[in-house]
Amino acid sequence: MSIISSSIQKAKAILMDEDIVAIPTETVYGLAGNIFSEKAIRKIFELKGRPLMNPLIVHIAELEMLDQIASDIPQDALTLAKHFWPGPLTLVLPKKSSVPDLITANKPTVAVRMPAHPVTRALLKELDFPLAAPSANPFKRISPTKAQHVADYFPSGLELVLEGGTCEKGIESTIVGFENGRAILYRHGALAKEDIEALIGSLEEHTVNSKSPEAPGMLLQHYSPRTPLILVDDVSEAKKEHAGKNIGLLVFSTPVADHPQEKQVVLSEKAHLEEAASKLYTAMHDLDALGLDLIIAEIMPLHGVGVGMNDRLRRASN
């Protein structure tokens, strides 16, 4: 049974023994292992049921560690790293030969970020190796934003979940790479595209690749509850179309008056996008536990982190 613990030293000991632990980040919880331990990395893929063609993100403690992982780093990448790290931005860069191909799905690039969560930053500073850490959920399921989500997903096979409270951002990092001198957005996330473009100019988007993804989060179906989910403009109209079903509602800021309160989640009554994002996956977990026939989710505002939220909801609905 997975033990939830606040002990960084216990987590360190497990990682040093080439096993894996779940760690908190400001985005979601991750399943972490030493990037140089094939045993640990294979266990991450096996425990998640994640295909080997889907690369992992390497987590580092300090910007100075980037040179150990990546080479030929574009100036725009350094600009973004210096401005947004630690934080919810992942950069896809040419990898050093020392980075195992298992981490990168045999690609010549590696995804790297510096998480902002104080617990995981403290753990990384205790280690002399970076950590690979995809989200701590079975493949394609809803990402975890609480330690208990992880423990519930993995009642066996995972010795320790490092407690870090509820994740502040609530959706995964934004991923940016570079191809032929152009900056490419591979995944919308907790850092708004507009904020990145304000620093380095316009980004091309390439956010779906189900055969050989350049980065995590590009598969068409992902982040899914067991309960069927649809994403709509008009929740009340969609309710009429599915009359007779046991329905849960996931709405941005305005509750649906004629729907049972216990079967709907309002993400932010103040219409605050960051608050809504921080609650998104928890809301999906809670609705998924109700034994519903259908979850109807409202399309979020089409700007800022709302774009990343809609990305997750669309993939959850496929």
* Cα 33 to Cα 29: distance, rounded to the nearest angstrom: 13
Provide the residue type at 107 as one letter. K
In tens, the pLDDT along 148-161 reads 999 999 999 999 99
Which of 195, 194, 140, 191 shows the shortest CA–CA distance to 168? Answer: 191
pLDDT at 19: 98
Report whether 93 contacts 77 (CB < 8 A). yes
Give me the mean pLDDT over the 253-259 stretch. Answer: 95
Q: How would residue 1 be classed by pLDDT, with cut points 50, 70 and 90?
A: low
pLDDT at 208: 86
Strands (E), 188-235: 204-205, 229-232
Inter-axis angle of helices 75-84 and 193-200, to 10 degrees?
A: 130
Helix intervals (H) in the chain: 8-16, 38-48, 66-69, 75-84, 101-104, 118-126, 147-153, 193-200, 235-241, 273-288, 305-317
What is the 3-state secondary structure of 167-187? CCCCCCCEEEEEECCEEEEEE
Percentage with pLDDT > 90 across the chain: 93
Q: Angle at Cα 127 formed by Cα 112 and Cα 167, nearest 5°?
A: 55
Domains and CATH numbers, the chain: 3-205 (3.90.870.10), 229-317 (3.40.50.11030)
Residue 2 has pLDDT above 80, yes or no: no
Report whether 263 contacts 283 (CB < 8 A). no
In tens, the pLDDT along 6-63 reads 999 999 999 999 999 999 999 999 999 999 999 999 999 999 999 999 999 999 999 9
In tens, the pLDDT along 93-110 reads 999 999 999 999 999 999
Handedness of CA 220, 222, 158, 162 (dihedral sign): positive
Residue 222 has pLDDT above 90, yes or no: no
Report whether 114 contacts 61 (CB < 8 A). yes
Give me the mean pLDDT over the 117-127 stretch. Answer: 98
Give me the mean pLDDT over the 112-116 stretch. Answer: 98
